[in-house]
Amino acid sequence: MATPILIQDIARYDGQDVTVRGWLYDKTHKGKLAFLKVRDGSGIAQCVAFQKEMDPAQFETAIALSQESSLIVSGVVRKDDRAPGYPGGYEIGIRSLEVIQAADEYPITPKEHGTEFLMDHRHLWLRSTRQWAILRIRATIIKAIRDWLDDHGYLLVDTPILTPAAGENTTTLFQIDYFGEPAFLAQTGQLYNEANMAAHGKVYCFGPTFRAEKSKTRRHLMEFWMVEPEMAFFDLDALIEMEQDFVSTIVQTVLAKRRQELAILERDTTRLENIAPPFPRITYTEAVKRLQTLAAQTDDPEQKALLNITWGEDFGAPHETAIAEMFDRPVFVTHYPVEAKAFYMQPNAENPQVVNCTDLLAPEGYGEITGGSERIFDAALLEERVKTMSIPREAYAWYLDLRRFGSVPHAGFGLGVERVVAWICGLPHIRETIPYPRMLSRNYP
């Protein structure tokens, strides 16, 4: 009796009768031979239909199969270094074939399709080898994130998706009606995470977050996944040490476990191989000076305009890209101006014009992948910041309350999963990093 197997394990069954259940990815037919590429979610195997070795009716069925028909194939595994597929190097000589459902004409073919067409058919595009590889890498990144945090004493504590107030910028909120009262989709779990931190010491939340940013850039989504660790008794230096170990482990885990998928994406991993602590770090002030120097040196008026920046302004994508390309691995930019950052960030003791924060910029134009800071832990200072920034105190009363009962210095950051996926995979646009992207002009399918 044939043994049911997953294609990813095919090498273990050389010479054995096996059964594979999946879908027809592609097919070629040459006289008495038909080569069926069958995928089962774990990989793709070449299955060879030879007329002399099969029931005639089943052979006719094999050569007539339409793309993405669901089927069950049984046959003998044979080693053949030329056999295509993932993992490849083995094929199945078909002895019997059962069709579960003959697919209609499949809309996504090997020909070139426009981006909008593919996005309209995202539910089917996910079956392509490229998207298969990306989502397997995404899953490995998420597992590496959770494994590292779980192994280093962090507790996963879930935070609300429906919130009564903004966590970041009030202009990017998705508002909903909550039984007659306004509520918002969470931009971050951080504020609640600070309460969780006071209960458990080192915590993280991990889930979807929402930003109503009217942006069409290749880096932005309206809905994305973020992991947010928060740690008691951490200062900025401890935060940076933790982040660089954390991010390095994520990258090296993908390199160790997903070489095949990276190869499918034709990702040049040369620069990823070098991702290891310590990461370089520069201050915001130093970064501004470097950008101003670059702007002064270029003769291109457009480039000059893109790079020029005045101290106090936040960085845009061209600034982040230019800074990151000065280094061979991610770079920490620290101590941004108070006005450019959120109300809860701790001012620097020596220079209160800046806060003790850091953004981690990925190389190759992928921008900020983490943003974090020391948090204000003094009740009076936080009250002052809330008042200065005209933040409605009543919505944050519980958050301010945390500073009255055993407040301690603490720090944390958020890491955007999709930007990390884009960077590690080398993708030109963030829309491929999540199964069903929500963008400014798209919430279908």
Range of the domain at 216: 123-433
Same domain, 36 and 173: no
The answer on 391 and 250 residing in a single domain is: yes
Q: Is residue 192 part of a domain?
A: yes
Does residue 166 have a pLDDT over 80?
Answer: no
Residue 441 lies in a domain: no
In a domain, 112, yes or no: no
Domain count of the chain?
2
* Cα distance between residue 396 and residue 379, in whole Å: 12
Question: Average pLDDT in the 92-102 region?
Answer: 98
Same domain flag for 335 and 404: yes
Nearest to 203 by CA among 154, 148, 153: 154
Q: What is the CATH number of the domain that holds 35?
A: 2.40.50.140
Residue 94 to residue 35: CA distance in whole angstroms: 10
Residue 172's pLDDT is 86
Of the listed ranges 168-182, 225-239, 369-383, the one predicted with least confidence: 168-182
167, pLDDT greater than 80: no
pLDDT of amino acid 397: 93
Same domain flag for 42 and 133: no
CATH number at residue 419: 3.30.930.10
Q: Which of 381, 383, 308, 375 is nearest to 345 (CA)?
A: 375
**pLDDT average, residue stretch 115-142:** 98
Q: Is residue 227 part of a domain?
A: yes
Q: What is the mean pLDDT of the chain?
A: 96
278 shares a domain with 350:
yes
User: Residue type for 214, please?
Assistant: K
Same domain assignment for residues 151 and 55: no
- Residues 17, 26 contacting (CB under 8 angstroms): no
221 and 334 share one domain:
yes
Q: Which of 101, 136, 170 is the last residue of a domain?
A: 101
- Mark whether 27 and 154 lie in a shared domain: no
Indicate if the pLDDT at residue 230 is higher than 90. yes
Residue 278 CB partners (closer than 8 Å, separation 6+)? 244
The answer to whether residue 117 sits within a structural domain is no
Confidence of residue 384 (pLDDT cuts 50, 70, 90): very high
* DSSP labels, 252-287: HHHHHH-HHHHHHTT---HHHHT--SPPPEEEHHHH
Same domain, 138 and 281: yes
196 plus 266 within the same structural domain: yes
Q: What are the pLDDT digits (tens) for 275-330? A: 999 999 999 999 999 999 999 999 999 999 999 999 999 999 999 999 999 999 99
- Residues 26-44 pLDDT 10s: 999 999 999 999 999 999 9
Tell whether 128 and 242 lie within a shared domain: yes
Q: Judging by beta carbons within 10 Å of its beta carbon (0-12, 13-18, 19+), is residue 96 exposed, middle or buried? A: middle
